[in-house]
Structures are given as structure tokens and as C-alpha cells.
Amino acid sequence: MEKPQMILHHMQSLNYTAYDCKWIPSSPKFIVLGGLARGTGCIDVFELTPTGANHVKQIEKAKPFKCATFGAASLAQRHVATGDFDGRLCVWSLEKPEVPVYHVKGHTEIINAIDGVGGLNIGEGAPEIVTASRDGLVKLWDQRQKGTPVATMAPSNTGGGAASSNRDCWTVAFGNAYTSEERCIAAGYDNGDLKLFDLKKMGLRWQTNLKNGICHVEFDRKDILMNKLVATTLEQKFHVFDMRTQHSKSGFASIAMKAHESTIWQCRHLPQNRDIFLTCGGEGSLQLWKYNYPPKRVKDDGHGKKMGVMGNVELVQDVKLGGQPISAMDWSPDKQGLAVATGFDQTVRVIIATKLNTL
């Protein structure tokens, strides 16, 4: 019992398929969003209580929701940005959800992933939102600019192929936002491509292929000089990259780990400790990991150039929650160890991880 434990605090059934969940910042409330059987979308608001969680309200809209973020919201307003199955990006006030604060038809197909930066006092620079879609495009949005994206990252059709041949972009994440000028976007695709876009230079900084579809990418922190990036994939694997040192030929140093015996749907770093992260498995389990740095993070490649050195990743805890995939989870930014997770068994769970400060 000396190592951290993961305790199920509350479990509640839902009458719809949940695709994402998020804690409302500076609040004991969280949201769960997804799609009802009749083809509409809904956002449920729950409030944590000493004995479980109470359902506060349900907001129903025309199309099912796929993803959400509070990353571009101010702490005063706490507006949530959502991506839906119709390719629409909307920003909602949860107090007055009748009409979106901002909306745009961002993509021609479903928005698979969304992320925000510059809000909640996390990351320097303007609040921005990035979306990734089945149409293969990654788009950057500023709510002050109506109707058109700030930038669009599209694959080059050098072979003259149709746009419909674009790879499905499954995941996207902000990072490197440590000054008002620096900002990067990591994007993962269904064919295993991992791309790093530099928004300062407005170009592709680095790319590699992980051989399996990339389900989720996340930097350990958005608002610091790039430190680590975790990418989870199909076929039971996740990859950890050391993003501090980029070699001209081999790129970033990385380590690959096998986990869950199934698809790894998501990875979430603990807000209070960037070296601890949780992975969500397709067999219904959560696994808690800790990254240990090597004695030296940089070495000479023999030709006078610096290259990164990887540490190791250790499994701290493994908990089985159910028989269906854990589709999403989110750590509370305010309370260390408090988390919410949704699964395809139409259930939302509140989890408490203990003794994380001992790692």
C-alpha cells in the first residue's frame, strides 16, 4: 500500500455515448459530452459532492460533440470550445448555452480533436484554438478573427491526388508556448505520421512515422520550452520523445513502451507533476506511469553535434475499470490526483489517485 492507489469515488451511467470529459477550471464541476441515440449532441454538467457527483444540467444541440477544451478561455468566463460531427467549431458559455459565443464551420468532416492555449493563464500570447479533422487538415483559430482560420496545415498533394486522399488527422496538441512568439502544434495521423508545426516560422519543423495510427498526443506542459511529448497509438504502444534536443539527422530521442494489450486511447499528464502521466486503454484500464530522467540528457554524436538521451518509464499502477475502452479522461487542474474518465460503456467515473506527491 506504499505506492499510489487509484480509487473509484463515483460511477454514473449515461444515456448516450460519451466522447470527451473536462473539468471546469477553478470549480468542483466537470462536463461530459457526446452524442445521443437520436443523432443530437449533448453536454452534461456534473458537480462533485462528498459522496459522489450530482447532475446539474444537460445542454442538447443539433449534432453530436466529439471533443472539447477550456484551454483558450479566461478564468473569469470559462467558455468551452467544442468540435462536432458536422465539422463545426463552437465556443459556449455554460451559463447561457442557447447561442454559441463563437462559431464557424471549420471543416468539411468531423472534428476529431481540439486544443487551446493562451487561456487560463497557461501559455504566453493570444488565446488560440487548434482543430484536427477527418478531412486531413489542422486549423488554427483566433476568436477575434471571424470565419477564417489564422493558419491551415494541409498535406502537400505533390502527386496530384484528390484532397479526399488526405490522411485522417486523429489528434492535435499545443506546446512550446513559453513566449508570446514561440508556439508549436503536434499532430498525429491515422497512418502513423507525427508532425510538429512551428507557428513562429509557419512551417513543418519535424516529422516521423510511428507505424501505427496515432490516437493521442500531448506535451507534458504547454507553457514551457518543449520538454517531453507522449504519443499513444494502436497496437498497444506509446512513445515518449525528449523534445529539448533536436538532432539534424535522427531528430528527437524517443522510447517506445508496450501497454494495455490494446489500443491506447489517450495520455494525460498530471498538471502538478509533468513527469507523471496516465494512459487509457481499449480494454477498459488506466495505467499510471512515471518518467525518470537520465543522468545526462544530451550527448555528442561523435561528429560534434548534440543529440538527446532518453531516460526510462516505469509503471506505477494499473487499474481495470470495465470491459469497454476508456474514451477520455481529464485530471483536475486544482486538486492533485482527482480525475474524471468516460468509457464506451456509457459510464462516467470520478477517480482519486493517492500519494502522487511521493513519486
Residue of 195, 198, 163, 156 lying closest to 181 (CA atoms): 198
Residue 236 neighbours by CB under 8 Å, 6+ apart: 258, 259, 260, 261, 262, 263, 264
> Which distant-in-sequence residues (6+ apart) come within 8 Å of 334 by Cβ?
23, 25, 26, 27
C-alpha dihedral (275, 233, 244, 130), degrees to nearest 10: -100
Task: Tell me the three cell numbers of residue 253.
Answer: 530521442
Please name which of 297, 343, 303 lies closest in space to residue 320, comparing C-alpha atoms: 343
Amino acid identity of residue 234, one-letter, is L
pLDDT at position 102 is 95
Which residue from 192, 271, 301, 198 is spatially nearest to 239, judged by alpha carbons?
192
Q: What is the pLDDT of residue 198?
A: 96
Sign for the CA dihedral angle at 107, 112, 96, 151 comes to: negative
At residue 27, the pLDDT reads 93
Supply the pTM of this predicted model.
0.94
| pLDDT in single tens digits along all 359 residues of the chain | 588 999 999 999 999 999 999 999 999 999 999 999 999 999 999 999 988 899 999 999 999 999 999 999 998 899 999 999 999 999 999 999 999 999 999 999 999 999 999 988 888 888 999 999 999 999 999 999 988 999 999 876 534 444 446 889 999 999 999 998 999 999 999 999 999 999 999 999 999 999 999 999 999 999 999 999 999 999 999 999 999 999 989 999 999 999 998 999 999 999 999 999 999 999 999 999 999 999 999 999 888 899 999 999 999 999 999 889 999 999 999 999 999 999 999 999 999 999 999 88
Cβ(23)–Cβ(43) below 8 Å = no
Looking at residue 146, its pLDDT comes to 86
Number of H helices, E strands in the chain: 0, 30
pLDDT at position 208, please?
95
Amino acid residing at 80:
V
What pLDDT, on a 0 to 100 scale, did the predictor assign at position 162? 44
Q: What is the pLDDT of residue 1?
A: 56
Q: Give the count of beta carbons closer than 10 Å to the beta carbon of residue 224.
A: 14
Query: Reduced to 3 states, what is the DSSP secondary structure of residue 119?
Result: coil
Residue 165: the pLDDT is: 67
In whole angstroms, give the CA distance from residue 139 to residue 128: 10
Q: For residue 166, which amino acid is it?
A: N
CA angle 146, 148, 150 (to 5 degrees): 105
Amino acid identity of residue 285, one-letter, is S
Question: 34: Cβ–Cβ under 8 A, 6 or more apart, which residues?
Answer: 14, 16, 17, 18, 19, 20, 41, 42, 64, 65, 342
pLDDT for position 160: 41
